[in-house]
Amino acid sequence: MDPLNEKPQENINEDQQLAGEDMDMENIIHNEIPGVITTTSQGITEFLKTTKIQDLINWGRKNSLWFMAQAMGCCGVEIIVTGMSPMDTDRFGIIPRNSPRHADVMIISGYVTKKYLPALKRLWDQMPAPKWIICMGDCSISGGPFYESYSTVQNIDKIFPVDVYIPGCPPRPEALIQGFLELQKKIAAKKDKGTAYMR
Partner 1 sequence: MDAEQIIKSLTTKFPDVISDAKVDSDIRISAYSEAEKIVEVCKYLKEELQFGHLSAVTAIDQIQKNEIDVVYLIASYDHPVVLKLKARLPRDNPEIESIVPVYWNANWYERETYELFGVQFKNHPDLRNLVLPDELLGDWPLRKDYKGFPNRTAKNLV
Contact residues toward partner 1 (CB under 8 A) are 113-115, 141-143, 147-152, 154-155, 157
Is 83 an interacting residue with respect to ligand SF4 (CB under 6 A)? Answer: no
Is 176 an interacting residue with respect to ligand SF4 (CB under 6 A)? Answer: no
Residue 137 interacting partner from ligand SF4, partner 1, none (CB closer than 5 to 8 Å by kind): ligand SF4
Q: How far apart are CA 32 and CA 53, in angstroms?
A: 30
Give helix 23-32 / helix 3-21 axis angle, nearest 10°: 60
Is 104 an interacting residue with respect to ligand SF4 (CB under 6 A)? Answer: no
Is 73 an interacting residue with respect to ligand SF4 (CB under 6 A)? Answer: yes
Q: Residue 132 forms beta bridges with which residues?
A: 105
Residue 57 interacting partner from ligand SF4, partner 1, none (CB closer than 5 to 8 Å by kind): none
Question: Is there a cis peptide before residue 173, judged by omega within 30 degrees of 0?
Answer: no
Count the Cβ atoms, other than its own, within 10 Å of residue 176: 29
Is 143 an interacting residue with respect to ligand SF4 (CB under 6 A)? Answer: no
Helix-strand-coil percent breakdown of the chain, rounded to 5? 50, 10, 40
Q: Using CB under 6 A as the criterion, which residues of the chain lie in contact with ligand SF4 when the complex forms?
A: 73-75, 110-111, 137-139, 144-145, 169-170
